[in-house]
Amino acid sequence: MIRTRRPLLRLLLLVWVLLSCSRALAVEPPGLKKISFLPQWLPQAQFAGYYMAQHKGYYRAHGIELTIIQGGPSRSPTEYLKEKKADIVTLWLSSALQLTAQGVDVVNVGQIMPRSALMLVAKTSSGIKTPADMNGKKIALWPADFQIQPKAFFDKFDLTVQIVTTESPVNLFLRDGVQVSSLMWYNEYHTLINSGLDPQEMQLFSFDDYGLNFPEDGLYLLRETFEKDREAACAFAAASMEGWHYAFAHPEEAVDLMVSIMEAAHIPANRVHQRWMLDRIRDLTMPDAKGHQMGDLQVEDYQRVGDVLVANGLIKSVPPFASFFEKCTQHDQK
Amino acid sequence: MIKSRGIAFRMGAPVLAGSALVFLVIFSIGYLHSRETILRNVQENAQNLARRIAHRIELVLAPVEKVPENLDIVLETFDVNETKIIEVLRSTLHINPEVFGAAIAFEPYAFDPARLYFSPYMSRKGKGFQMTHLGGKGYHYFYQDWYQIPRETGKSSWSEPYFDEGGGDILMATFSRPFFREKEGTPQFTGVITADISLEWLEKIVAEIHVLRTGYGFIISRNGAFIVHPQKSWILNETIFSIAEARNDPALRAIGKRMIAGESGFFPFTGDVLQRPGFIYLTPVGFSNWSLGIFFPTNELMADLDAFRRTAVSLGLSGLLVLILVVWLVARTITRPLRTLSAVARNMATGNLEIEVPVPKTGDEVAILAESFNYMKNSLKVHIRELLAATAAKEHIESELTIARDIQMGLLPKTFPPFPDLPGFDLYALLKPAREVGGDLYDFCRIDEDRVCFFLGDVSGKGVPAALFMAVTMTLIKMTAAKGLSPDRILREVNGQLSRDNAAGMFVTLFCGIVNIRTRELWYANGGHNQPVLLRKSGEAIFLEGTDGILLGAMEDIDYAMKRIVLDAGEGLFLYSDGVTEAMDEQERLYSDERLLEALKAMGQMSSAEVVESVAHDVISFAGTAPQADDITVMMVRF
């Protein structure tokens, strides 16, 4: 029951990282810019676009020799960014704004996921059909930044709820330890489906539907890194977008790639689940009526997240949008 | 043997079809009945097997579930410090060899107000024990399932199985029990007591399930995750629902939902690794909402049934083959004499009536048919003999008739021009005989230097009598004309001769003319014959003025009138028999006098031969394919 890190896993990881570095060093012609990148979690289809871009050589084509550092619970992207162990990381907008408030000047060079995948779920058997029905209920939330958006939601609907902080809400929710749980649409929602709950047995609450959209995965780097080589940062963003477009156009190939990467890293891999994840990421990045599109950060969304953070005392003021978001994926859009 | 649906086929097909139908019905009922029986038996066996397995699993799990309960009692009864707790944990592992590890996890600051985390965990390491304190910056045990679920539900529960990450890939499960302490009179949640066990034995128990040849058992957790399964890569990696999703198989998802709902029963199953069709018996196991499934591949389940089916089908087919043989043999005893008869009949048809008709000794319908054949053969023989005689007689008569005809025709003069020494006088005649012997006649003769006698007639009736009468008539006329008599006298004389001894009552129509070549005078008399046509120099064709004489041979002593005309050069007389004007075409229309006159009008300048041939040709082409009923006789006399 002790869920310590696996020393073996770490070793393998290290070897893998080293191998990919040395391989790159061995064959790369001089002139490629070295960039290291840390996604905010373990390899999964949530990051298929980056792995695909790497696999298809898009980064090299953009003059970058990229090293993807395998993400996971032990690697905090904010720490890695601060300590310059990674040049570029993915972060949620809410985390990035707090980082800025802490004095770490970061730049967003691409808002990959413009819409929230974080949602709330209740079993329809519990009778919870509207936000008001959640009043007085036990609600499982992940710790820290995962609680900002749900709390804003509870405030908005003036709900008094009993928050149960957890690192694994799925079983707690399934066993009725809580009546409502937060989940990622592309991940835990599917886990619930594949634990025997039919979609019609669940009531989903998407924050976007309640006017509380929080952009999620974005590409961040320190301003000083950015200023040093804007071109490389934008090239990274452009190559990443290309990787995503390719992955969406070739989902089976992308899933194959992710499953092989996960298996090599000894992470339990389930094809069906990875396919679901990729398909939902695609849904979340599709352009919509509100002007959302992959790579682009809407100023309204930015302001909303900032305001919520200010209201919760997490930051003192919202930094100017213009300096925070560098719209350098533009040339990819033509 | 079955040639174009012979008797063998007509007899055999219904018999075989009926037998096959009966066989099929019996076989199908037997098959369905056996299938049902087999399934029922299998279901019962599966139920017993599953219950036995479930019981064995519960025997292991039940004591483990007692461990936290006992620990709780110890903790509650004795005021224990940290050292004591560790001792208790150690002795718990000692006396419960099936338990891999046990922990007592307290709420934050509940054991010691100075400690956020307090969770001593005793586990096995090698042959000894290892003491760990759970909780820390990287491991918030309050947020873990094993702690949080009993805390939030207030109930004991088994965790979802997991791989023990510290001690290798051993499948583990943790039983957690919340414990409460009185605080200000109410029980207050204070922490969770756990006992971990390795689930390696579970795999062994399930592996002992041997059903059929390749059937197997598997266990899924209450989330549908595979805990024990022969497909190792599925364990904790797939749920029955993810397999159903990957295969797009709603039936499998429905089975999964039955399983996690703790149902028991026997169902068709599509969730085999190799996707073989089969059945599953499912039943809940343990106190954990796990579910045991036992898979029976259909092909093996139905192996006995298949063997039965194969035997039945081969027996049925052999039976049918024997039946075919029997039918063939029986049919042959009928068809063989029939075929012999048929061959005999064909032989008889070629005229061989001496052939022996074999009569089978069976005395059945075929024998009767053979006897009938024999009778027919004998009758035919008699008939044919008679027929041959009749035919011979007829042929004899016909040949005699032909000879008579030839003789008759031989009587008629056929040399033209008849008087080459008489320039300016042109005579031509033709008789086209009908098939039957007829009685037309014509002739001419020189009476003296200047005069020529000619005549044309038609004897009543047909056949030999008519021919004979014609010959007599011709002889009489020639003899009479030779005496130098005038035409009226010739007719009177000949009539007298013919009438006198005319027992047969035959008669003849006759036109007789005498022409003087020099003076171009024509004397003529007509005895009931068609009036000849006068072809004038002007191109007119008119009937010659009649003399109103009656036909010859009817009565004696008749006087005939005579008339005289003088012909100009280029004028002529056309004589004919009623075979011309009464010739009929296919529509039975007569050639008629009018048509004859019309035809002759155009022939004013032709020679006698041309006129005769033209008229004969015209009549024949008018008749077309209609048979010629009477002799056609024409004669032309002209200057």
Q: Using omega within 30 degrees of 0 as the cis cutoff, is the peptide bond preceding B417 cis?
A: yes
Q: Do A193 and B246 touch (CB under 8 A)?
A: no
B417 pLDDT higher than 90: no
pLDDT-derived band at B525, boundaries 50, 70, 90 = very high
Alpha-carbon gap, residue B36 to B43, rounded angstroms: 10
A205 pLDDT higher than 90: yes
Q: Do B194 and A1 touch (CB under 8 A)?
A: yes
Residue B218 lies in a domain: no
Q: Do A196 and B239 touch (CB under 8 A)?
A: yes
| CATH architecture of residue range(s) A7-114+215-333 | 3-Layer(aba) Sandwich (3.40)
Q: Which of B166, B198, B230 is a domain's end point? A: B198
Contacts with A193 from chain B: Cβ below 8 Å = 241, 245
Check if the beta carbon of residue B523 is closer than 8 Å to that of residue B512: no
Quick one: B461 and B591 in the same domain? yes
Question: Mean pLDDT, chain A, as a whole number?
Answer: 85
Contacts with B153 from chain A: Cβ below 8 Å = 175-177
* pLDDT recorded at residue A6: 47
Q: Do A2 and B146 touch (CB under 8 A)?
A: no
**Model confidence over A98-117: pLDDT tens digits?**
888 888 889 999 899 999 99
* pLDDT recorded at residue A145: 84
Q: Do A196 and B101 touch (CB under 8 A)?
A: no
Quick one: B357 and B429 in the same domain? no
Predicted TM-score (pTM) above 0.80: no
Interface test with A, best of B165, B196, B220 (most A CBs within 10 A): B165
* pLDDT recorded at residue B4: 55
DSSP lists the bridge partners of residue A69 as none
- For B380-422, the DSSP string reads HHHHHHHHHHHHHHHHHHHHHHHHHHHHHHHHS---SSS-TTS
Q: Do B256 and A138 touch (CB under 8 A)?
A: no
Q: Which residue has the tokens 């560098």?
A: A326
Class of domain A118-210: alpha beta
Residue B209 lies in a domain: no
* pLDDT recorded at residue A256: 92
Alpha-carbon distance A270 to nearest alpha carbon in chain B (angstroms): 6
pLDDT-derived band at A243, boundaries 50, 70, 90 = very high
Q: Which of B171, B198, B225 is a domain's end point? A: B198
Contacts with A4 from chain B: Cβ below 8 Å = 138-139, 165-166
The distance in angstroms from the start CA to the end CA of chain A is 52
Quick one: B476 and B525 in the same domain? yes
- For A5-40, the DSSP string reads PPHHHHHHHHHHHHHHHHHHHHHPPTTPEEEEEE-S
CATH number of the domain that residue B628 is part of:
3.60.40.10
Name which of B536, B594, B531 is nearest B563 in CA terms: B531
Contacts with A167 from chain B: Cβ below 8 Å = 140, 143-144
Q: Do A196 and B165 touch (CB under 8 A)?
A: no
Quick one: B537 and B500 in the same domain? yes
**Model confidence over A274-330: pLDDT tens digits?**
999 999 999 988 888 888 888 888 888 899 888 888 888 888 888 888 888 887 755
Q: Do A194 and B160 touch (CB under 8 A)?
A: no
* pLDDT recorded at residue B586: 85
Q: Do B160 and A4 touch (CB under 8 A)?
A: no
Q: What is the dihedral of CA A256, A260, A265, A268, to 10 degrees?
A: 60
Quick one: B570 and B421 in the same domain? yes
B18 pLDDT higher than 50: yes
A141 pLDDT higher than 60: yes
Quick one: B483 and B581 in the same domain? yes
Residue B280 lies in a domain: no
Helix (H, G, I), strand (E, B) or coil at A180: strand
Among B140, B153, B236, select the one facing A268 at the smallest CB separation: B236
* pLDDT recorded at residue A258: 92
Quick one: B167 and B119 in the same domain? yes
Provide mean pLDDT across the span B526-538: 88
Distances (CA, A) of A261 to A23, A281, B412, B498: 17, 18, 129, 141
Q: Where in chain A is the domain with CATH 3.40.190.10?
A: 7-114+215-333, 118-210
* pLDDT recorded at residue B455: 92
DSSP structure class, residue A71 = P
Residue B275 lies in a domain: no
- Cβ within 8 Å of residue B370, ≥6 positions away: B337, B341, B357, B358, B359, B360
Q: Do B224 and A194 touch (CB under 8 A)?
A: yes
Kindly state whether B196 is in contact with chain A, defined as any CB-CB distance less than 8 angstroms: yes
Contacts with B121 from chain A: Cβ below 8 Å = 1-2
Q: At B171, phi and psi to the nearest 5?
A: -75, 125
Kindly state whether A42 is in contact with chain B, defined as any CB-CB distance less than 8 angstroms: no
Complex ipTM: 0.80
- Cβ within 8 Å of residue A27, ≥6 positions away: none
Which residues 108-147 of chain B have a CB within 8 Å of chain A? 121, 123, 132, 134, 138-140, 142-146
* pLDDT recorded at residue B168: 57
Q: What is the dihedral of CA A13, A17, A23, A27, to 10 degrees?
A: 160
Kindly state whether B578 is in contact with chain A, defined as any CB-CB distance less than 8 angstroms: no
Provide mean pLDDT across the span B468-491: 88
Q: Which of B153, B177, B198 is a domain's end point? A: B198
Alpha-carbon gap, residue B209 to B50, rounded angstroms: 9
Alpha-carbon gap, residue A71 to A40, rounded angstroms: 6
Among A138, A171, A269, select the one facing B160 at the smallest CB separation: A171
Q: At B524, phi and psi to the nearest 5?
A: -150, 155
Distances (CA, A) of B569 to B78, B115, B423, B479: 179, 172, 12, 30
Q: Please give the residue range of the domain that contains residue B360.
A: 351-411
Contacts with B140 from chain A: Cβ below 8 Å = 143, 167
Amino acid occupying residue B12? G
**Model confidence over B593-609: pLDDT tens digits?**
888 888 888 887 888 88
CATH number of the domain that residue B401 is part of:
1.10.8
Which residue did the predictor score with more confidence, A327 or A84?
A84
CATH number of the domain that residue B125 is part of:
3.30.450.20
Alpha-carbon distance A151 to nearest alpha carbon in chain B (angstroms): 19
**Model confidence over B31-87: pLDDT tens digits?**
888 888 888 888 888 888 888 888 888 888 888 888 888 888 888 887 778 888 888
pLDDT-derived band at B127, boundaries 50, 70, 90 = confident
Check if the beta carbon of residue B409 is closer than 8 Å to that of residue B439: no
Kindly state whether B223 is in contact with chain A, defined as any CB-CB distance less than 8 angstroms: yes
Q: Do A1 and B101 touch (CB under 8 A)?
A: yes
- For B479-537, the DSSP string reads HHHHTT--HHHHHHHHHHHHHHT-TT---EEEEEEEEETTT-EEEEEEESPPPPEEE-T
Residue B311 lies in a domain: no
Q: Do B223 and A74 touch (CB under 8 A)?
A: no
Kindly tell me the burial class for residue B61, based on how many C-beta atoms sit within 10 Å of its own C-beta (0-12, 13-18, 19 or more).
Answer: buried
Give me the number of domains chain B comprises.
Answer: 3
Quick one: B107 and B186 in the same domain? yes
